[in-house]
Amino acid sequence: MPAEIIDGKAVAEQIRAEVKQAVAERVAAGKTVPGLATVLVGDNPASQVYVRSKRKACEEVGIQSFGFELPATATQDQVEGLVRELNQDPRIHGILVQLPLPDGLDEERVLGAISIQKDVDGFHPLNIGRLAQKGREPLFVPCTPAGCLYLIERVVPSLRGLNAVVLGRSNIVGMPMALLLVRADATVTICHSRTRDLPAVTRQADVLVAAVGRAEMVRADWVKPGAVVIDVGINRIEDPTHPKGQRLVGDVAFEEVRQVAGYITPVPGGVGPMTIAMLLKNTLRAAELAEM
């Protein structure tokens, strides 16, 4: 029996509706409108698309959106200076610096300049450090891993004692995803390019999160029957049968793996919509924290 599809788009719409209602209730109560500032450095086309989609999503739920753009020639001091100005702006509750930054800029320094109370992307070293420590709570969790966990917990109410495998160890997805799964009491394995006999490792997973950026890398014989498979990958491949000559696929061979897994996220329509939904949720939380 084919795996049940986890509809991330539908779940994300539900989260957006909840955020929209909460924002409306805040405004009706005379409280401040949550505000999100996006900082785009350079002219990376993909980054421009991502920023536009985030700003549009904010407007749809009643969150104020503030866009700031700097040229690719911007210096480290200019980027950090802008971030510090936004830290002091009471209209702005969340700051999102779109990654990657142009070559020559120190990403860690820029992210570290963001006030931890406005770090709605969850990438500040203090937030990541708290996520990694037992007994500590981050103010914010990175949006994509948070969205993945939200989807997982809809179909697996308790991860306690389950084997979870994360393919990929990036700062944006892989590492924080593994930390979240550890916090949920799963037994976690992180795989990467140096992992020996990768298919044998992934076949032990009750929950498999693929975030390596390699089109359809995960095949059916990599997956334990009945496993939950979360596909974070977004890859374009050539497809002469498609009107545009190419199509989007994940890191998982969807049709093949669907015949083995118990639950699976599609690409598109799986994890992608959850990232922005969790960003909106974090921005609302930032506004609430600012009042405490």
Among the listed residues 64, 118, 119, 121, the single catalytic one is: 121
Convert 79-103 into a string of H (helix), E (strand) and C (coil).
HHHHHHHHHHCCCCCEEEECCCCCC
For the CA atoms of the chain, what is the radius of gyration?
Answer: 19
Residue list for the binding site: 168-170, 234
Specify whether 244 is catalytic: no
Specify whether 77 is catalytic: no
Specify whether 206 is catalytic: no
Burial of 78 (C-beta count, 10 Å sphere; 0-12/13-18/19+): middle
* 27 vs 246: CA distance, rounded Å: 44
The amino acid that residue 170 corresponds to is: S
In sequence order, what are the residues at sequence separation of 6 or more whose Cβ sits closer than 8 angstroms to the Cβ of residue 76?
105, 106, 109, 110
Closest-CA residue to 164 (of 222, 227, 207)? 207
Residue list for the binding site for NADP(+): 168-170, 234
Among the listed residues 98, 118, 119, 206, the single catalytic one is: 98
What's the Cα-to-Cα distance from 176 to each of 41, 96, 195, 248, 280, rounded to whole Å?
A: 24, 17, 19, 25, 19
Among the listed residues 54, 118, 224, 281, the single catalytic one is: 54
Annotated active-site positions, please? Answer: 54, 98, 121
